[in-house]
A and B are shown apart, each in its own frame.
Chain A
Amino acid sequence: AQKVTQAQTEISVVEKEDVTLDCVYETRDTTYYLFWYKQPPSGELVFLIRRNSFDEQNEISGRYSWNFQKSTSSFNFTITASQVVDSAVYFCALSGGSGYSTLTFGKGTMLLVSP
């Protein structure tokens, strides 16, 4: 069975602070995919990144960066110099590598960035 744990239920920061959202996963698949989604207050789910299990390189996209470590089964997400617009619920998700594509979501981390 697959499992995604986002231990941080809610994080509050002040604008311009850096913040890291943790994601730990469990899977028996040797091939799998990890995702992050953002859900702003407006409610839609926005895709941020997909990473496959064979690619452990960290990724940076503007103020966003992701740290994938298979040794600790973690796929953490860092926002540098946070902004109020980053306030949202962030979901980490896992997809198995066999069969069809289904996503197992974590419970989400609510990030509140104050001015």
Chain B
Amino acid sequence: DAGVIQSPRHEVTEMGQEVTLRCKPISGHDYLFWYRQTMMRGLELLIYFNNNVPIDDSGMPEDRFSAKMPNASFSTLKIQPSEPRDSAVYFCASCAFSYNEQFFGPGTRLTVL
């Protein structure tokens, strides 16, 4: 079975541009998580979904960030407009049941110039 798939793997954009990160969770997993990793702040949970419904978005930095999960096999994280401080590695993860181990995608390395 394929693992969590993320695209793109690398994204370089200019300040003010819209950025969309994509994630396909492992089939059958009911939970999907978006994380951000930076040297300064480590791994931060941004938002997570259960059965396509957003459960907790308290980690989303500000209104420039939005996430959707239109169906069980696809989620997006959008940043509009992007800023240099958004530069980070963004991970998507999924798990089958509550308290189960989460499986992470390879991450998207975002650079905002």
A residues bordering B, Cβ < 8 Å? 33, 35, 37, 43-47, 50, 52, 91, 95, 97, 99-103, 105, 107-108
Contact A50 B101 (CB under 8 A): yes
Residue of B43, B89, B103, B109 most packed against chain A (CB within 10 A): B43
- Chain B interface secondary structure, helix, strand, loop or mixed? strand
Contact A100 B55 (CB under 8 A): yes
With a cutoff of 8 Å between Cβ atoms, the chain B residues found around residue A91 in the complex are 43
CA distance A59 to B74 in the complex (A): 36
B residues bordering A, Cβ < 8 Å? 31, 33, 42-43, 45, 48, 50, 55-56, 89, 91, 93, 95, 97-107, 109
Which of A35, A46, A97, A102 contacts B45, CB < 8 Å? A102
Contact B48 A44 (CB under 8 A): no
Known pairs A43-B106, A44-B104 / 9 extra A-B pairs, C-beta < 8 Å: A33-B99, A44-B106, A45-B93, A46-B104, A47-B104, A52-B99, A97-B99, A101-B98, A105-B43
With a cutoff of 8 Å between Cβ atoms, the chain A residues found around residue B103 in the complex are 47
